[in-house]
Amino acid sequence: MKIKPTGGPGNIGLDELDAVTGKDAAGKTGAADAAGPISGIDAIVEAVRTGELKGPEAVNRIMEHAMDQAKAAGLDATRLATLREQLDDLVANDPYLKSLVSRLGG
């Protein structure tokens, strides 16, 4: 039995981004919009949605965000370096992740 990833070729659609951010068709999240400016991963998703970020640049921002979260969680410098190396390797060599990056364009 062969397991295939879900989805097909092409760019990530707004519906997929909406599912990640919880935004409706008008781009509103309700309570989150009332809370003020977006930040973190939501800001990255919004930049992809508006076309400000594409492909590798978006992935770099996501990885920087992940590293910031790991540092805030208390990982020491050695483990942070190992984590970054492993993330870089996954993005460069994992066929599924490579396909996701290509769907972001750029």
* pLDDT higher than 90, residue 30: no
Of residues 60 and 29, more confidence is placed in 60
Please return the burial class of 48, using the count of CB atoms within 10 Å of its CB with bins 0-12, 13-18 and 19+: buried
Q: Domain extents for the chain? A: 14-103
**Contact indicator for 82, 92 with CB cutoff of 8 Å:** no
The pLDDT score that the predictor gives to residue 105 is 78
- pLDDT-derived band of residue 65, with 50, 70 and 90 as boundaries? very high
Min mean pLDDT across 7-16, 80-89, 97-106 is at 7-16
pTM: 0.60
What mean pLDDT do residues 64-82 have? 94
